[in-house]
Structure 1
Amino acid sequence: MVRDLPDGSDLRVEVIKRASMISALREGALDRRTLEHRLDISKSTAHRNTTTLAERGLIERVDGEYELTEFGKVVAEIVATFEAEMQTAHRLAPLFEVVSSVQPECPIEEFSDATVTTAERGDPFGPLARFVSLVEETETLRMFDSYAVAPTYMDEIHGRVLDGLVTDVIEQPDIALDIMENYPRKCVELCASDYLRMRLHDSLPFGLVLFDSCIGIGIRDQDSGVPQAFIDIDTPTARAWAETLFESYWSEATRLNRFHPKALREAIDADT
């Protein structure tokens, strides 16, 4: 029987402090020694935690083992949901700030099951590798701010474009110029192929990619400019948002008639 329950605020504090024990008991009844071993806690800590949870009506001792009460089972489900949501929030942390000011508003809730690839110390090229794997599966490609997605994308998609990959790209003028200076021959080949269209926009919020089957967001480090994360999702709502966002920037962007430095400077001059 649940007796003398604390007020809501006190209960929340205790649940958060003892969440690991509640989660362990959610899987089934355990004796004190097993709890100590599984949670890597001392005998005194285990005693304190079980006593506190029992006093609040969350657990009870039956035949030498601790188990959740009916009330405790409800609380354990809430704890599990909270932990899952916190893990999702942590995974998507790189996304929150960059999409906060864009219109239309980003449907953040759609990204709960997104694939998040981050640049780790042991694998700094993870986001680029994820982008390349998705490029291999698509027949059309639209993106803006390619450096936030794949700084070397010219190497990665050059052959695909020449083979017929229809590609629309919006770049910031300095990025477009950098591409042309570093890949002059490839730029000429792409221009002649008629499969690549590029436009210029001087203010792009992050990297955005629309593949056939999903959309991706590329985020780069504000200080170094190096890709930090690539987040992709395939829900219809997320795609509709990305389509609208891309078309908005595409309509505002300056058309680049030819893919070489002279045409770039002419386009910049015409825009100013």
Structure 2
Amino acid sequence: MRNSGSAGSDILIEAVKRAPMLAALREKPLDRRELETRLDISKSTAHRYTKSLTDRGLLEKSNGDFVLTEFGQAVADVVAAYEKEMDTTIRLAPVFKSVSGTEPPCPIEAFANATVTSADRGDPFAPLARFVSLVRESDSLCMCDSYAIAPTYIDEIHGRVLDGMQTIVVERPDVAEDIMENYPAKCVQLCASEFLEMRLHEGLRFGLVILDDCIGIGVRDSDTGIPRAFVDTESNEAREWAETIFESYWNEAVHLKRFNPKALREAIEASAE
């Protein structure tokens, strides 16, 4: 006779293996032919699967249809939740390593419904495009490590800043120096703007964005520095975490008084003291 533990494990294993059938029957009762068509399986396979689930008390026959029992419905709900969490885990794989060790810890579960834009699906500029589309809908921007999100962001948001978008940036010194070397004219204009404030921080490990309606995390390739993925969500829990992390970086960072090379050197020297 099986003990309750082994019986539970057996049901769990079978339920996960038959997740597509359970998912189909969560929607509505189906007869054998409908299951065959819906799942693209043979008659013998459908019989084997339904018998297995019926023997474990998950299915029953009613008017020719297979119907989830009350117990089966509960198990199907658990399997659906598990699949959703697993999908989230896989989609968020690029950010796990980057955000590990933050204090407070990143609430990964808060990103369950996040939009994940990856650069590994034939479009290397997809993360940048997603970021830009969100910036266009926001009147404020707080950002850490812009190169992990949008290496050419200054071209994209320059006009927005001059038009009055309140922008607060914590940047790596090497990135700030690169911006000043490659965009001197824009830096002069931004320097004169009252809407941009920047500080420098050496220890930025990932990109972080806080906009009016959402927050985002950007991850760059460790070898090339090119953005790999951008993950954004409207979750309140994720926003609270992002605001805490940004405030921590902001308080630790060195103030860049002016957006020009001299001010940058002074800030870098100050951070080295």
Normalised TM-score (structure 2): 0.89
| Contact preservation (8 Å) 1:127, 1:227 | yes
Which residue of structure 2 lines up, in the alignment, with residue 106 of structure 1?
A: 106
Which residue of structure 2 lines up, in the alignment, with residue 128 of structure 1?
A: 128
Residues in 2 aligned to 1:212 and 1:70: alpha-carbon distance in whole angstroms: 44
RMSD: 2.2
Which residue of structure 2 lines up, in the alignment, with residue 251 of structure 1?
A: 251
Residues in 2 aligned to 1:15 and 1:81: alpha-carbon distance in whole angstroms: 12
Query: Partner letter of residue 234 of structure 1?
Result: E
Deviates more, 1:240-249 or 1:91-100: 91-100
Secondary structure of 1:29 counterpart: coil
Unaligned runs of 5+ in 1: none
Query: Partner letter of residue 42 of structure 2?
Result: S
| Contact preservation (8 Å) 1:102, 1:205 | no
Residues in 2 aligned to 1:114 and 1:268: alpha-carbon distance in whole angstroms: 36
Query: Partner letter of residue 46 of structure 1?
Result: A
Secondary structure of 1:213 counterpart: coil
Q: Deviations over 1:43-100 (max 9, x none)?
A: 3322221221122122233444322223222222222222222223333333332222
Residues in 2 aligned to 1:18 and 1:233: alpha-carbon distance in whole angstroms: 31
Provide the identity percentage.
Answer: 64
Q: How does 1:1-272 map to 2 (within 5 A)?
A: 7-272=7-272
Return the offset for 1:202: 0.8
Describe the shift of the 1:24–1:238 C-alpha distance in structure 2 as closer, same or farther (beyond 3 A): closer
Normalised TM-score (structure 1): 0.89
Unaligned runs of 5+ in 2: none
Query: Once superposed, which parts of structure 1, at least 4 consecutive aligned residues long, lie more than 4 Å away?
Result: none
Secondary structure of 2:11 counterpart: helix
Return the offset for 1:30: 2.3
Return the offset for 1:10: 1.2
Secondary structure of 1:267 counterpart: helix
Describe the shift of the 1:236–1:64 C-alpha distance in structure 2 as closer, same or farther (beyond 3 A): closer
Describe the shift of the 1:152–1:88 C-alpha distance in structure 2 as closer, same or farther (beyond 3 A): same
Return the offset for 1:145: 0.1
Secondary structure of 2:230 counterpart: strand
Residues in 1 aligned to 2:23 and 2:141: alpha-carbon distance in whole angstroms: 44
Return the offset for 1:193: 2.1
Q: Deviations over 1:88-134 (max 9, x none)?
A: 33333333322221112223332223333333524332222222122
Query: Partner letter of residue 78 of structure 2?
Result: I
Query: Partner letter of residue 219 of structure 1?
Result: V
Residues in 2 aligned to 1:216 and 1:63: alpha-carbon distance in whole angstroms: 50
Residues in 2 aligned to 1:76 and 1:165: alpha-carbon distance in whole angstroms: 48
Deviates more, 1:57-66 or 1:35-44: 57-66
Report the number of matched residues: 269
| Contact preservation (8 Å) 1:207, 1:218 | yes
Describe the shift of the 1:184–1:114 C-alpha distance in structure 2 as closer, same or farther (beyond 3 A): same
Q: Deviations over 1:207-262 (max 9, x none)?
A: 11122232221122223322222222334433332222112111211222222233
Query: Partner letter of residue 60 of structure 1?
Result: E
Describe the shift of the 1:238–1:74 C-alpha distance in structure 2 as closer, same or farther (beyond 3 A): closer
| Contact preservation (8 Å) 1:120, 1:126 | no
Secondary structure of 1:7 counterpart: helix
Residues in 1 aligned to 2:149 and 2:125: alpha-carbon distance in whole angstroms: 11
Describe the shift of the 1:213–1:59 C-alpha distance in structure 2 as closer, same or farther (beyond 3 A): closer
Return the offset for 1:270: 2.7
